[in-house]
Structure 1
Amino acid sequence: MPSHLRVALALIAVGLLAAVAIPAAAAGNEDQRRTLPDAPVSITGLRELCSNGSAETPMSFGADANVILQRHGQARAACDKLIDAAELGGRDLAEVLLDRADLEAPGQADAYARALADYDVAIALAPDLAAAYWRRGKANLLYGRNLAAALRDLDWAIRLDPSQAEFYVTRASILSWDGRPELAMADLNHALTVDPRSEHALTNRGLAYFNDGDISRALADFDAALKLAPNDSGLYGFRSAARRRAGDEAGAKADEATMMELLSKGSR
């Protein structure tokens, strides 16, 4: 399997490439992202709109483009309103800035620059917020392809809060991109020490085993991950490839059929 495909699969497994699927028009359409319901919206309501539209709560790949645009527009408008109203400060403002940054990060050029600026301000407001470094690190990995900056962010996130399995899984993806599979595997193993039920860690470790030709261990990890996420279409695809490599053609075809069924229903 080509190295770039291995990395892409790992990113899908960690949930990174599924972060958000915003059509290109969304990043540059100011009218679209300024759309809000006509009725007054409370601070709590705005916060929910802003947060639920961010890249941390992705829609399925099968979602209609207009629905994605509408949600993105309402979320961005809600984030802007919260920030512009100047009623928030400190950690509360940092959280909103992070949500807006997640909405902007998949864009290009100016949109990505705005996202980085929001991440930077959020971290300045709450320098002890580990998730802020994690979220900026993911943006640096996915959209900036800045591996050095992404790794620095994840190192900080883990230093601040070593109890989060997802941090190690994301750092493992960065290390995979950077051609350091041994360190990536160490992070995945540690993630499973922190949280033995981490679907993302199991999936990524299964992919690492698969790439190394250790099919029995790969299948064990995919089986365990599917027990935790039985509707994850991508996992059936990964296990199908492993089953085929192991000579189980019937099992491979059964997993492919399940994957296609889930995809047709809009599962990730």
Structure 2
Amino acid sequence: MSMTMLLHVTIPAVLGRLLPVLLVPCLLALPAWAADKPSAGPAEKDLDPGVRMSLQLMKGPYFKASPEEYLSGGIGASIVGNHRYAVKLLTMAIDSGGLNMEQLAQAYLNRGMARMHINQHRLAVEDLTKALESMPDKYDTYFQLGNALRALGAFTEAIIAYNRALELKPGYAPAYYMRGSVWLIKGDNRLAVNDFSEAIRMRPKMDDAFYLRSQAYEALGEWDKALADLKSFHLLNPLDDSVEISIARLRTRMAEPKASPAGR
């Protein structure tokens, strides 16, 4: 047999035996995207919490978020001021159907508060009402409900909510302060003074209570008390130059002939 014929016979035979050996390592080295199954994702413990939540929201093959994780993520987003994202996460927690009654009330409360920050006050009222359906004796939920109703101009309903908050937590200074602000808006200046005074008694450094009480005193024609409150506010806010303007304006008014009180 000639050399040429020998090569034609032996080379295909040799390649036939070698190809499986050569191809196996290549097949084993195929990239993950060419495999039938997706490659395993990174370990959960190795992921940044923000990346983990993003993967959960994409509903990818990596993780399935629990209702509690959506709840805690929503509360965390609200704390750092990302209120729209908080609404999204808390909605997912609520819609999951996996929260107990206390967690559900917490989710509705925090979603309602987040919605107030993005001026969705009517939706906030709905959320806070649902929170009270789940947990009816939460003073902080009544307080936030009062705030949402106040923002909508529903002053009578807001006062009722603040009243309930104070029944559940007597001496709660923020509720006295906010109820006082509603009385002030309504022109019930004596009631406003009473509430601001109670807030100050509970929290002597509540500077805004001094400022608003000064407005109520001024409306009642009690100039000296109004001036004293402005000075107290200034002591708590020494860098606020606008207070000096308010004090000067009030002193000018005090020097004029007294007008009849503007409020009740």
* TM-score, normalising length: structure 1: 0.61
Compute the RMSD of aligned alpha carbons: 2.8
Runs of 4 or more above 4 Å deviation: none
Distance 1:128 1:214 in 2: 39
From the superposition, tell whether residues 73 and 208 of structure 1 become closer, same or farther in structure 2 (CA, over 3 Å). Answer: same
| C-alpha separation in 1, matches of 2:224 and 2:234 | 15
Gaps of 5+ in 2: 1-48, 54-68, 254-264
Alpha carbons of structure 1 residues 243 and 115: separation in structure 2 relative to 1, 3 Å: same
Partner of 1:153: 161
Q: Please, which moves more after superposition, 208-217 or 128-137?
A: 208-217
- The answer on 1:184 being equivalent to 2:192 is yes
Task: Compute the displacement of 1:146 (Å).
Answer: 1.0
Displacement after TM superposition at 1:205 (Å): 1.0
Aligned residues between the structures? 189
**Residue 141 of structure 2 is aligned to residue 132 of structure 1:** yes
TM-score normalised by L of structure 2: 0.62
State the distance in 1 between where 2:215 and 2:244 align. Answer: 9
Counterpart of 2:51, as a letter, is A
Which one has more relative contact order, counting CA pairs under 8 Å at least 6 apart? 1
CA contact (8 A) 1:51 1:99 kept: no
Once residues 237 and 103 of structure 2 are traced to their aligned partners in structure 1, the CA distance between those partners, rounded to angstroms, is 32
Inter-partner Cα distance in structure 1 for 2:242 and 2:166: 31
- SS of residue paired to 2:89: helix
- Partner Cα distance (2:161, 2:73) in 1: 31
- Match of 2:102, as an amino acid? R
Gaps of 5+ in 1: 1-36, 54-70, 249-268
Q: 1:82 to 1:52 in 2, by over 3 A?
A: farther
Contact 1:219 1:242 in 2 (8 A): yes
Cα deviation, residue 106, structure 1 = 6.3
**Cα 1:190/1:84, change in 2 over 3 Å:** same
Of structures 1 and 2, the larger Rg is shown by 2
Shift in Å at residue 215 of structure 1? 4.0
Maintained 8 Å contact 1:98/1:122: yes
Secondary structure at the aligned position of 1:197 is classed as coil
- Which of residues 203, 216, 226 is equivalent to 1:218? 226
Aligned to 1:80, which of 66, 72, 91?
91
**Matching residue of 2:78:** 50
Identity across matched positions, percent: 24
